[in-house]
Chain A
């Protein structure tokens, strides 16, 4: 019987690959899985390898957007802690637009690349998820540097530590929704502008 990697992992992989490269790239992984990894380690080790490779592609595809998303969180946190204010309206508006805009563009780009709206959903989810990790790490680093009484008072005045550490993870669902909207637009534009099949570059 021919060894086969987990179907869900293959589906996930295709969501983060360019439409024109999906067959050749997934073919490379499948060949390595069947020719090297599976014979050497058996089904479960080969499946684990395939899943880890796939997660690597997901992380690479979302890394740039997650850095922007998480970086915006860290910038906002730094501002609130180190330059306290009583009027958060402008800061909230800017950080909301930056966050939503980043998720939308991440979804748009993913939808364009793979020609599927579900790629946008995954991009939004991954951007929000990895971005949350970036923002938590940033907040912990900031707290390690600045924890004098004045800064602690500013933290309490801007919503407290609980908000800083929980809010990023509450954005997973909105991230998936906004990413899906971007993905629908990106996939539609790609299908209209470039309906053809892959072509060589030489």
Chain B
């Protein structure tokens, strides 16, 4: 079995997939906040991006700066093949766990 991702790692990776070419740090942060419907610390997203990059699940490149960032560059992320594989395997594992059970669960289950 390969990488089974945690919920937050999945949220970050799926945000990168959804954002496509526009997946830079702040955009990923906003997307994760919207999808999880809660406030998320920027440090948590950046730490997760670093970890995923060290594990070889995502790659990054530097873009250009903008005035609102005082010229500081954006770092854009994209999934590597291993990242896609990890997401697919995680989804398959979760579906396997739920197979045969009605959702949502109730006390009668």
Question: How far is B47's CA from A35's CA once the two chains are assembled, in angstroms?
Answer: 22
CA distance A23 to B65 in the complex (A): 10
In Å, the complex CA distance between A32 and B24 comes to 12
User: Does any Cβ of B come within 8 Å of A34's Cβ?
Assistant: yes
What string of 1s and 0s marks CB contacts (under 8 Å) between A8-47 and chain B? 0000000000100101111111111011000000000000
Q: In the docked arrangement, what's the CA distance between A201 and B29, Å?
A: 20
Once the chains are docked, how many angstroms separate the CA of A27 from the CA of B72?
5
**Shortest distance in angstroms between A67's beta carbon and chain B's nearest beta carbon?**
15
Q: Are A57 and B78 in contact (CB under 8 A)?
A: no
User: Of B29, B41, B44, which is within 8 A of A28 by CB?
Assistant: B29
Answer yes or no: B60 CB below 8 A from chain A CBs. yes
> Once the chains bind, are A24 and B59 in contact (CB under 8 Å)?
no
Closest Cβ–Cβ distance, residue B60 to chain A (whole Å): 5
Provide the bound-state CA to CA distance between A161 and B70, in Å.
52
- Whether a CB of chain B sits under 8 angstroms from the CB of A195 is no
Partner of B65, one of A21, A27, A32, A60: A27
Residues of A within 8 A of B46 (CB): 21, 25, 28, 57
Q: Is the interface of B mostly helix, strand, loop or mixed?
A: mixed
A89 to B29 CA separation, bound complex (whole angstroms): 51
Chain B residues within an 8 Å CB radius of A25 = 25, 42, 46, 75
Interface residue B73 (Cβ < 8 Å from any Cβ of A):
yes
Interface residues of B in 49-83 (CB under 8 A from A): 50, 53, 59-62, 65-66, 68-70, 72-75, 78, 80
Compute how far the CA of A31 lies from the CA of B59 in the bound complex, rounded to whole angstroms. Answer: 22
Contact bitstring A70-109, B, C-beta under 8 A = 1, else 0: 0000000000000000000000000000000000000000
Residue total for B at the interface (Cβ-Cβ under 8 A): 27
CA distance A21 to B24 in the complex (A): 13
Known A25-B25, A202-B78; judge A53-B42 contact (CB<8 A): yes
A28 engages B42 (CB within 8 Å): yes
CA distance A56 to B62 in the complex (A): 24
Q: Chain B: which residue is nearest A202 at the CB level?
A: B59
Q: Is A32's CB under 8 angstroms from B78's CB?
A: no
When the two chains form their complex, are residues A53 and B26 in contact, meaning their CB atoms are under 8 A apart?
A: no
Q: Taking the complex as formed, is B104 at the interface, i.e. its CB lies under 8 A from any CB of chain A?
A: no
Contact of A56 among B26, B41, B72, B73 (CB under 8 A): B41
Is the CB–CB distance between A201 and B70 below 8 Å? no
- Least Cβ distance of A114 to chain B in Å? 14
Q: Which residues of B contact A35 (CB under 8 A)?
A: 68
* Interchain CA distance A83-B63 in the complex, whole Å: 59
Can you show 12 pairs from A to B with CB atoms below 8 A apart? Answer: A21-B46, A21-B50, A25-B75, A27-B25, A28-B24, A28-B25, A30-B70, A30-B72, A31-B68, A32-B42, A53-B41, A200-B61
Beyond A21-B75, A24-B75, A56-B42: 14 further Cβ-contacts under 8 Å?
Answer: A24-B74, A25-B25, A28-B29, A29-B42, A30-B68, A30-B69, A31-B66, A32-B26, A35-B68, A57-B43, A57-B46, A60-B47, A200-B61, A201-B53
